[in-house]
Amino acid sequence: MIAPIIRTKSELRAMVKTWQKAGEVVGVVPTMGALHDGHLSLVAAAKAGCDRVIVTIFVNPKQFNNPSDLENYPRTEEDDARKLERFSVDAVYVPGPEEIYPEGFASTVSVAGLTDVLCGAHRPGHFDGVATVVTKLFTQTRAERAYFGEKDFQQLQVVRRLSADLDLDVDVVGCPTIREEDGLAMSSRNLLISDRARVKAPALNEAMEEMADGLRAGGTATELAEKARARILAAGFNEVEYLDLRANDDLRLLERPEGDCRLLAAAWLAGVRLIDNIAV
Ligand code: PAF
C-alpha cells in the first residue's frame, strides 16, 4: 500500500488527532531518507509495537557542521516511498524546511554532557541540531513511541535524555544495528563510498571485533586501541577520529569493560566518515 505523503504539520496533526481519539498508539521512525535495511528494520519494529506508524523524512540542515556534507547527502524520496510500500505505514511525513524552521525560528535544544565526547567533540553543533529537530518531530507527530538505530548509539542516548528531561513522554526504542554481509554497518552514507574504497570498509568492524575480544581476554583499552588503529589505517582508512571503550549509560571513558559498555569508533575512508559501535 502506498502511504500518503504528508507535507504540512497541520495535515499531520489532523490525521494523528483522529487516531489518538480512537485510542490508537502512534509510533514514529525519524529518518533523513536514503532508506536502507537498517531503517526498514526500525519500521518493522514500529509496525509490531504500534497501531499507527509515521515515517519522517527530513534532511535536517541544522545537524550538518559541513556544508558540502549537507549538499552531498543522498536524497531519494521516490525510491524511499517505494521501499516503504510493503510495510503499509500510515503516513510518510516529508516536511519542507518552513514546517520545521519557520521564519524567525530561534530555539535550540542542547543536551549537555553526553554530547561533549565522541561525535559531539568532532562535529560542533551536530547534536544541538539533532536534539532540536527530534524535539520538533516528537511534538509535531505527538508520537508515543519512537524508533532509533543503535548504530548511532550516542544519538540514541541523547534522544533518550532529552525525551526524559523535557517530559516529552515518548518511549524511545533502540533497535540493533543491521550490517552488510561483510560486517559494514548499514548507513545512508555508504552510498557515498567509491567501489575502490568499499572493499576496505569492513576493516573498521573487524578491528573493533578483535579489540572487543582482547578486552574480554583482559587487555586494556589504551593498549588494544593502538593496535586496532594501526590495523584500520593499514587497511586503507585515512584517519581514525576516535576508538573508545565507554559505558552505555553516560558514555564515560573506560579502560576495562565494566557493566554495560561498548566500543565506539569513527573513521574516515576516502572522504566518507563512517561510524560504528559494538557491545563488549
Ligand atoms: O539518524 C538520523 O537519520 C537523524 O539524525 C535523525 C534522527 C532523523 C534526525 O535528523
Band (pLDDT 50/70/90 cuts) for residue 33 is: very high
Q: Could you give all domains of the chain from N- to C-terminal order, each with its CATH number?
A: 5-175 (3.40.50.620), 188-279 (3.30.1300.10)
Question: Residue with the nearest Cα to atom 2 of ligand 1?
Answer: 31
pLDDT of res. 1: 75
At what angle are helices 203-216 and 221-234 packed, to 10 degrees?
Answer: 160
Residue 2 has pLDDT above 90, yes or no: no
Residue 252 has pLDDT above 80, yes or no: yes
- The average pLDDT across 215-230 equals 98
pTM over 0.85: yes
Band (pLDDT 50/70/90 cuts) for residue 9 is: very high
- End-to-end Cα spacing for the chain: 41
Please list the active-site residues.
39
pLDDT of res. 3: 86
Q: What are the tens digits of pLDDT across the range 158-181?
A: 999 999 999 999 999 999 999 999
Residue 135 Cβ contacting ligand 1 at under 6 Å = no
CA distances from 23 to 3, 53, 168 (A): 21, 14, 18
**Grid cell in block for residue 165:** 528531561
Residue 31 has pLDDT above 90, yes or no: yes
Gap between the Cα atoms of 174 and 141, Å rounded: 19
**Grid cell in block for residue 69:** 556534507
How many angstroms does the Cα of residue 227 sit away from the middle of ligand 1? 32
